[in-house]
Amino acid sequence: MKKLTLLVVLLGGVWFLFRSCSGPTEISSPPPPAITRPEPPKAVTLNSVFPKGSDEFKLTFTQEKEGFAQAEWSKGSTKLATIAITDTNTNPSARDKFREASKKLAGYPAAAVGSQGTAVLVADRFQVQVRSTSPAFSAADRDALVAKCNLQALAGK
Amino acid sequence: MMIDQLVDQLPTEGLTVRALQMLDFVAPGQWQNITGFDNMIRHVTGETDPGLVAQVRARALTLYGDADQGYQRAVSIYQLVDSADAKIGLAAMAHKIGESINLLSFLSKVTPQEDKAQTLDLVMKAVAEGVAFCYTNGFPGDSIGDFMGAVSAYERENLIRMSALVVYDGLVPLGPDYGGKLVDALQSFSAADIEGNAVYQRVKGLLPQGGATSFVLESVGAMQGYLGGFAEQRGITLDGVLGRLSGFIDFSESKLDYLAAALDMSTNYMEHTGIQSVSRSLIERAVGEI
């Protein structure tokens, strides 16, 4: 009961903070930013791409900005990987590594990002990258997790 | 100052670091005092290739340089909320590992706050934490449950910062019943009380709604339960904390309010771990986007 009460109070608290943080601020903005923002999709669309959790695995949303969404994939208390979905219209150079990619995952061009990341490019625009955060999560595991994502949801955007 | 410079300049030792290390028992091994921006990149990404590290750095700095992304504002909040004043010199005494700092010689330079003012400090820092989290990470997920998942998954720098807040701004100055004092204060806080709070005055320009006192009052009510139950939920007791503090600082248990005030004036744990938290989120995003 104590934990439930704590959860209810905390839910109310962060909901209140969310409503406040989502509104416009009164701080004047700096000069135009260096990154481009050509109509990125609404975040709720990106979130629909993440794989669903199960009894064994848990998905925790961790960061969300315009054109970017990130979540953690864990098993019990062990964090296995992070999944990041990016609208590469905000960072077009990210597409370069896929140009000569010979590997495909779930039918989409795939490329490595360093030694710990595996990414695919959907509709020549959306990058979905899985990065291992545990030594137990192999490259093969990353491939499988990429394939579990709802990539087709991005293909039609 | 850009985020790479901030992380590069984080201290590897000193009173703030020791005060944070003392809290390791809350979540053993979770907080590592990572300093140096490239070092943080290697730690967060697990990558060591210099070319990739440079790519991540470049993307991170581009994102940070865009004020609309929120990372700058989060760092500003963490910097402003701390009131560390180097003038009393207590922090300068903390570099000698293995030696204790004698607090007695600093008592004349310290003015403890009354409970109500101290409680408001605790609350303001918690409100600032919540706002900084939103600026750093947005609103992850599509529901309150999703958002709660992110908040309740606090670990590493985030968890040690919340622990320090509850211990150094709650438990030590207000005692084991700091939660009860929060409840009492909530019933008596006024807009004038908030306006008179130094932490509020420093951060109000960066808070939502222009820092309206109504926002703070509503936040106080919403967070009281979370803050009040934090120590008990994690097995943090005043005796346990004082026992660990006595390992590196000499103080009188009859003057805990002086101890709390001296630590408040001499440490900047919110700024230190806040910079680490923001840079972690920033780097995670940068490597996810390249």
Contact A131 B45 (CB under 8 A): yes
pTM of the model: 0.87
- Which of A9, A15, A89, A98 to probe the B interface (max B CBs under 10 A)? A9
How far does the CA of residue B34 sit from the closest CA of chain A (Å)? 17
Of A26-35, B25-34, B250-259, least confident by mean pLDDT is A26-35
- Cβ of residue A139 closer than 8 Å to a chain B Cβ: no
How far does the CA of residue B22 sit from the closest CA of chain A (Å)? 24
pLDDT of res. A39: 56
pLDDT tens track for A9-38: 444 444 445 444 443 333 444 443 456 555
pLDDT tens track for A55-86: 999 999 999 999 999 999 999 989 999 999 99
Quickly count: other Cβ atoms within 10 Å of residue A5's Cβ.
11
E strand or H helix at A68, and its extent?
Answer: strand A68-75
The residue count for chain B:
290
How far does the CA of residue B148 sit from the closest CA of chain A (Å)? 7
CATH number of A43-155: 3.40.1000
Sign of CA dihedral B78, B83, B89, B94: negative
Note the ipTM here: 0.86
Contact A20 B208 (CB under 8 A): yes
Number of cross-chain residue pairs from A and B with Cβ atoms under 8 Å apart? 171
Q: B47 with B53: CB under 8 angstroms?
A: yes
Cα(A154)–Cα(A143) distance, integer angstroms: 18
Please check the confidence at residue B126 and state whether its pLDDT lies above 90: no
More confident call, A156 vs B53: B53
Cα(B189)–Cα(A106) distance, integer angstroms: 58
pLDDT bin (cut points 50, 70, 90) of residue B102 is: confident
**Residues in contact with B81: Cβ distance below 8 Å, sequence separation at least 6, in sequence order:** B124, B125, B128, B199, B202, B203, B270, B271
How is chain A split into domains, by residue range?
43-155
Q: Which residues of chain A are within 8 Å of residue B233 when distances are taken between CB atoms?
A: 6
- Which of A11, A61, A127 to probe the B interface (max B CBs under 10 A)? A61
pLDDT of res. A27: 40
pLDDT of res. A137: 97
- Which of A65, A77, A126 to probe the B interface (max B CBs under 10 A)? A65
Please check the confidence at residue A102 and state whether its pLDDT lies above 50: yes
pLDDT tens track for A112-131: 999 999 999 999 999 999 99
Q: Which residues of chain B are within 8 Å of residue A64 when distances are taken between CB atoms?
A: 137-141
Q: Which residues of chain B are within 8 Å of residue A115 when distances are taken between CB atoms?
A: 46-47, 49
Out of B130, B141, B153, whose CB is closest to A17?
A: B130
Tokens coding B27 = 């979540």
Sheet strands (E) in chain A: 58-65, 68-75, 78-87, 104-105, 108-113, 117-122, 126-132
Q: Extract long-range pairs of A104-107: CB within 8 Å, 24+ residues apart.
A: A105/A143, A105/A146, A105/A147, A106/A146, A106/A147, A106/A151
Burial of residue A144 (CB within 10 Å: 0-12, 13-18, 19+) is: middle
Tokens 């005796």 map to which residue? Answer: B239
pLDDT of res. A32: 39
* Mean pLDDT, range B162-179, rounded to an integer: 92
From B212, which residue of chain A is nearest by alpha-carbon distance? A20
How is chain B split into domains, by residue range?
3-289
Q: Taking phi first (over 0 means left), then psi (-120 to 50 degrees means alpha), and beta for anything else, what does residue A122 get?
A: beta
How far does CA A111 lie from the centroid of its chain?
17
Of A26-30, A68-72, A140-144, B263-267, least confident by mean pLDDT is A26-30
Contact B62 A34 (CB under 8 A): yes
Tokens coding B10 = 């984080």
From A119, which residue of chain B is nearest by alpha-carbon distance? B288
Contact B209 A20 (CB under 8 A): yes
More confident call, A20 vs A100: A100
